[in-house]
Amino acid sequence: MVAPLVSGCALFSSNPAETADGARASASQTVPAPQENEAVKRMEKTIQGIDIAVQNVEREDAITAITLLMNNHVYNLEDFEVKNFSSLDGKAPKEYSVLSSGMGGHHITAKLIFPGDLYGKLVVGLSDSMLVDFFLQK
Give the C-alpha separation, 85 to 37, whole Å. Answer: 25
pLDDT at 102: 87
pLDDT tens-digit profile, the chain (138 residues)? 343 333 344 332 333 333 344 443 333 333 344 444 555 556 999 999 999 999 999 999 999 999 999 999 999 999 999 999 999 999 999 999 999 998 889 999 999 999 999 999 999 999 999 999 999 998
CB-based contacts of 49: which residues, under 8 Å, 6+ apart?
72, 73, 74, 75
pLDDT at 37: 52
pLDDT at 41: 58
Give the C-alpha separation, 8 to 10, whole Å. Answer: 7
- The total of other beta-carbon atoms located within 10 Å of residue 8's CB is 5
CA distances from 66 to 25, 31, 137 (A): 28, 23, 13
pLDDT at 19: 38
pTM reported for the whole predicted model: 0.71
CA distances from 101 to 23, 71, 107, 127 (A): 23, 10, 6, 19
pLDDT at 16: 37
